[in-house]
Amino acid sequence: MNKRFFGTDGIRGKVGSDPMTADFAMRLASAAAQVLVPRGGTVVIGKDTRLSGYMFESALEAGFVAAGADVLLIGPLPTPGIARLTQEFEADLGVVISASHNVYSDNGIKFFDRCGSKLTDEIELKIEEHLKNPAITLESQSLGKAKRIDTARIRYQDFCAQSMPDGVDLDGMKVVFDGANGAGYKVGPRTLANLRAEVIPIGCSPNGMNINDGCGSMEPALLQMTVPGVRADVGVALDGDGDRLIMVDENGELIDGDQLLYILATARQRQGRLTGPVVGTVMSNLGLEHALKAQNIEFRRVNVGDRYVLEALKESGGILGGETSGHMIVLDKTTTGDGLICALQVLAIMKETDKSLSELAAGMRKYPQIMVNVQSKNGVDPAASVEIQAAVAVAESELADTGRVVLRASGTEAVIRVMVEGEDHDQVVAIANRLASVVAEAAA
């Protein structure tokens, strides 16, 4: 059975259009409460800095309270912070109001279970079944209560700081922090400063409409200019909800999720703390796979989505996984992707090894990788199209074993992503453009 509302990372869409309306949010809360929250149970609700967060917060609160659940309102805090506080408060459910890296006019709703993990497909399907019915309202004596938690930010800051190795701080390190004008705009700079770093914040002045706008992990150009401009040691960029991390080295060069995963994995191996395979996705750069193999580190690929990375880690006993986009999971420190905690792990490695970020990343050679997003009006399945598969077969024959082709429908947008990588940049570009043309024709 296919899900109607839940995508790869919760429910997401344009505010004011189905399903991102106040009425839907209240029905969603009611449905989730009936599946996951017993009478008298507790729900934690947090959000990013989008203007529409106020509306969805109120609608969700109403839906949960009407269904008999108590609600703890956290306010703006990174998505992984909500996962952590769901555990800390021993709540039955954690709810995040965020559209992550999307523009401010979008918003979304995602859930964590009582263990701080994302819901399974089976649970999401059960919630969707209840969405067919109106929201419930219990009698007065059975209604839940709501209160705001003023200590949430401090609790999460302390948790992040405790992820650092014993005796290691950031004294003497100059860090430019880009909060994407999002959920990490306060906790990021304050956590770094508490660890004695000299912090230069950018993208830390949210106004409800500037989240991810010209800043953050999706648009790091300003960070790339600022780091060498102020002679900083490193730059750290989160996305709007704080679960993605991109870094910038001392020269202003981007260090993406694949390179960060390489740095974390090789450091854990040196320390004798690496267990299980390192898990990436079908979009992870081939250079990561080859670099880890050279270090005798097993690497596995799964479908795109940090939930699938997490599932594979749990099944295999691994502790490190992530995506090129910067969704990084460090299971020996936290339960879900956490941009700030991952950044702290990399900064700690820099301090312990006395190496720059560029030196740490030098062991991995990135293969040229071209991504073309093709609008899909008819929802064509690339795997079911004879024309597309024939073009893919020709491309793979040209690349042989020196490259890869991946076509997949996005879980958050109406596009098909065409990715080609290989040793020769010009060849990769030519093949990607040719494939994109074939896909565009089939998707028109």
Instruction: Supply the residues annotated as catalytic.
Output: 100
Per-residue b or e along 285-310, where b marks 16 or more CB atoms closer than 10 Å to that residue's CB: bbbbbebbeeeebebbbbebbbbbbb
Distance CA 80, CA 152 (A): 12
Distance CA 419, CA 432 (A): 7
Instruction: Return all residues near 145 (Cβ < 8 A) that are at least 6 apart.
Output: 65, 70, 71
Phi, psi of 344 (to 5 degrees): -65, -35
Q: List the one residue out of 138, 129, 47, 131 whose CA is nearest residue 94.
A: 47
Alpha helix stretches (DSSP H) within 101-162: 121-130, 152-161
Residues found in the chain: 444
Beta-strand pair 70-76/42-47: parallel
First to last CA, the chain: 27
Please, what is the angle between helix 257-270 and helix 339-353, to 10°? 50
Check: CB of residue 435 under 8 Å from CB of residue 418.
yes
Beta-strand pair 320-322/328-330: antiparallel
Give whole-number Cα distances, 25 to 58, 99, 317, in Å.
9, 14, 36
What is the number of other CB atoms lying within 10 angstroms of the CB of residue 389?
14
Bridge partners, residue 278, by sequence: 299
What is residue 4's three-state secondary structure?
Answer: coil
* DSSP letter for each residue of 308-368: HHHHHHHHHT--EEE-TTSBEEETTT-SS--HHHHHHHHHHHHHHHT--HHHHHTT-PPPP
